[in-house]
Amino acid sequence: MYQIPGFGNISDVALTDRNTWYAVSSNTTSYPIGRNTSNLSSISVNLNVGIEGFWNGISQVSDTVTVELRSSSTPYNVIDVAKTVFTPGIGYGSFEFLAAPAGSYYIVVKHRNSLETWSASPVSMASGGNYNYDFTSAASQSFGNNTILKLGRYCNYSGDVNQDGVIDGTDFLLVDNDILTGATGYLTTDLDGNNIVDGSDGLIVDNNSSSYIIVLTP
């Protein structure tokens, strides 16, 4: 709780749009307390991302994806994070970053059961800018060519169920256990996004764990 003269106790502060901050006092009444139209500017990044298990050659299952903007120099700190649900069918999403200043950033894509994937190189971005990046057009769009070609598009590897940066036997066991129990629903072990954990999911993680696919970073 905060004290502001004339307001009493302030219980919360929220940004309701890009230009107006609101303070909510203890009597639940909202008051505009500040306005800035010049310094607050976002960076928009539009991405095409393939997810191996979710892509069937025609369409891609829609799911939530998280994207980080990371510094272009070691230790590659996270500068800003955004999350969105991809457009059904095409693996496209728009991400708005409110905290990142102008600069050059690696674009890092994270998804609940696929391998974290970095852009091939940093992308120069200006405040207020709008940028497009397509991970699906070529392996060279990802750092270390760390994608797999599946039915005409380059996709992030599926199978990092426990999100430890490697697809290995641990992930295989998690999927295999859910296959044996006939697990259904929105599960990380459901690698093809059909809400059923079955042999199709097992085949994906088996292939990738056999190759010991890992996250590649600068």
Least confident of 28-37, 61-70, 120-129, 193-202: 28-37
Q: How much is the average pLDDT of 37-50?
A: 82
Considering 156, 176, 200, which residue would you say is the last residue of a domain?
A: 156
Whether residue 180 sits in one domain with residue 109: no
Q: Is 142 exposed, middle or buried (0-12, 13-18, 19+ CB in 10 A)?
A: buried
- Cβ of 117: how many Cβ atoms within 10 Å? 27
Whether residue 173 sits in one domain with residue 129: no
Residue 206 inside a domain? The answer is yes
Per-residue pLDDT tens over the stretch 142-156: 999 999 999 999 999
What CATH number has the domain bearing residue 78?
A: 2.60.40.1120
Residues in contact with 156: Cβ distance below 8 Å, sequence separation at least 6, in sequence order: 49, 50, 51, 52, 109, 111, 114, 115, 117, 135, 142, 147
Domain total in the chain = 3
* pLDDT of residue 4 exceeding 50: no
Residue 161 inside a domain? The answer is no
Taking a C-beta distance cutoff of 8 angstroms, is the pair 60, 155 a contact?
A: no
Residue 70 inside a domain? The answer is yes
Residue 54 inside a domain? The answer is yes
- Residue 128's pLDDT is 96
- Residue 35's pLDDT is 45
Residue type, 121: S
Tokens of residue 10, six digits: 């302030």
Whether residue 28 sits in one domain with residue 12: yes
Determine the Cα–Cα distance for residues 150 and 132; give it in Å rounded to an integer.
Answer: 22
Whether residue 147 sits in one domain with residue 48: yes
Whether residue 147 sits in one domain with residue 95: yes
Residue 9's pLDDT band, with cuts at 50, 70 and 90, is low
What residue numbers bound the domain in which 15 lies?
Answer: 2-35
Whether residue 49 sits in one domain with residue 150: yes
Whether residue 47 sits in one domain with residue 30: no
Whether residue 134 sits in one domain with residue 52: yes
Whether residue 170 sits in one domain with residue 125: no
- Residue 40's pLDDT is 58
Residues in contact with 123: Cβ distance below 8 Å, sequence separation at least 6, in sequence order: 104, 105, 106, 107, 131, 133
Whether residue 189 sits in one domain with residue 145: no
Q: Which of 209, 195, 44, 199 lies closest to 132 in space, CA to CA?
A: 44
DSSP state at residue 193: S
Whether residue 136 sits in one domain with residue 66: yes
Whether residue 130 sits in one domain with residue 49: yes
Q: Which of 209, 148, 147 lies closest to 176 in space, CA to CA?
A: 209
Residue 191 inside a domain? The answer is yes
Residue 137 inside a domain? The answer is yes
- Residue 41's pLDDT is 79
